[in-house]
Amino acid sequence: MRSGALRIANVTFALLLCPVAAWGWGDDGHKIVAVIAANNLTPAASSQVAEILGASAADKRAIAYAMEAASILPDTEFREEDKSTAPWHFIDICLQDHRADVAARCPEGKCVTGKIDEYSKRLKEIRYDHWGAKGDLAFLIHFVGDIHQPLHAANDADRGGNCVPVDSHSRETNLHATWDTTVVRRLEYSIDSGRPETTAHKLEQIYAAEKGADSWIAPDDIAWESNQVARTDIYGALQIPLEPCQPTANVCVNPAGHPIELDSSYLEHADTLAGHQLAKAGFRLASLLNEIWTQPAAPTHATGNSAPAEVPSATTVDSQIVFVGNRRSKIYAWPGCGSYDRMAPANRVVFQSRETAEQNGYRAARNCP
């Protein structure tokens, strides 16, 4: 048993280390999920998604790019616009909990399971909130990715691993960030060139035999499944001690009391596990969207406050592209540019047109088509 002084010091140290918000899978993980889902939509669901996101219904690649762009909006834009959305990205299921406890861990539906149910219903009923059709779909795509990240459904008084410092010879300083970003980037480079699109296609091939079994199930069941993965393959595998269950307490403890060593063997296992979770999320997201939309979009289908989304290349009309700038380099890019997918989330700023980007002092990347 730790002394009171050691526990206080441990909490203080962890608070200095842990970020305010958790970023499920990072941009690349969410894009991988979106691409896999786009590849597995029925024609009816595909046309509805294309209508909402402003992509061509006849161009599967354009729909995939549009879903990629939408998948990261809850982290890159919506969270800054409304900080009350931050708790929507996870559910704090204690490591001591039982399946029957899951529903109680989502008070007032303001967690990832509750919001998946809410936005599924909004899209099906064409009853959007102030984010509009595009925003509501973006949230749903993003949250299905989040709920498959094991540390978004587990809590050991450590904010889903945010308060556990790690020593893994990577730039990420805590366990949650390692799973969000480092593990996914390692997976991408082990599979192919490090691009979300190619990684998505490869994962789809690797886990093709599981597609039929990965149909949509209740969000609470998925959260419980992810929690079990966290228990065995993260907390158990790393021998992190169990802390008292206090999901509503404002604490940030490192249960281990010291930085966790993540050796190459553990990270290789984590890469494989993350790939499986991402593939499962993509297949399930497609299954959910296919359930929501069984009829194709009518030409006059209302999309609320939806706005145009990203499309594959700069040959498309500028107003249909979301341009992403790098705050540090003052360079902007669009889908198809080599630098587009490599911008760090913290450096991203989104513009709706070339003119807006250039008025703000940004120039176009030289590696853009």
φ, ψ for residue 249, nearest 5 deg: -80, 145
Range with lowest mean pLDDT among 263-277, 302-316, 323-337 = 302-316
Query: Which pLDDT value is given to residue 17?
Result: 39
35's enclosing H/E stretch is helix 26-39
What is the DSSP annotation of 196-224?
HHHHHHHHHHHTGGGGGG-----HHHHHH
Query: Which pLDDT value is given to residue 341?
Result: 65
Percentage of the chain with pLDDT > 90? 67
Identity at 246, one-letter amino acid code: Q
Report in angstroms the alpha-carbon separations of 116 from 24, 133, 172, 216.
Answer: 15, 14, 28, 12
CATH class in words for 4-292? mainly alpha
The answer on pLDDT for 12 being more than 90 is no
What pLDDT digit, counting tens, does each position of 326-359 carry? 877 788 887 767 666 666 666 777 777 777 778 7
Q: Alpha carbon 120 to chain centroid distance? A: 17
Of 230, 250, 251, the residue nearest 240 (C-alpha): 230
Q: Are 16 and 22 a contacting pair, CB within 8 Å?
A: no
Query: Which pLDDT value is given to residue 289?
Result: 98
Query: Which pLDDT value is given to residue 369?
Result: 65
Query: Which pLDDT value is given to residue 344?
Result: 67
What pLDDT digit, counting tens, does each position of 87-110 carry? 999 999 999 999 999 999 999 999
φ, ψ for residue 54, nearest 5 deg: 75, 25
- Please state, in angstroms and rounded to a whole number, the distance separating the CA atoms of residues 186 and 191: 9
List Cβ neighbours of 213 (8 Å cut-off, separation of 6 or more).
none
Q: Are 146 and 33 a contacting pair, CB within 8 Å?
A: no
List Cβ neighbours of 121 (8 Å cut-off, separation of 6 or more).
127
- Between residues 152 and 21, the one the model is more confident about: 152
Q: Alpha carbon 35 to chain centroid distance? A: 13
Identify the top-confidence range among 106-120, 305-319, 333-347. 106-120
- Please state, in angstroms and rounded to a whole number, the distance separating the CA atoms of residues 232 and 175: 15
What pLDDT digit, counting tens, does each position of 210-242 carry? 999 999 999 999 999 999 999 999 999 999 999
Per-residue confidence at 10, pLDDT binned at 50, 70, 90? very low
What pLDDT digit, counting tens, does each position of 153-207 carry? 999 999 999 999 998 777 789 999 999 999 999 999 998 777 899 999 999 999 9
- Please state, in angstroms and rounded to a whole number, the distance separating the CA atoms of residues 310 and 322: 5
Question: At which residue do the structure tokens 């960030």 appear?
Answer: 177
Query: Which pLDDT value is given to residue 296?
Result: 92
- Please state, in angstroms and rounded to a whole number, the distance separating the CA atoms of residues 140 and 145: 9
Percentage of the chain with pLDDT > 70? 83
Q: Are 348 and 314 a contacting pair, CB within 8 Å?
A: no
What pLDDT digit, counting tens, does each position of 279-302 carry? 999 999 999 999 999 999 876 444
Query: Which pLDDT value is given to residue 131?
Result: 92
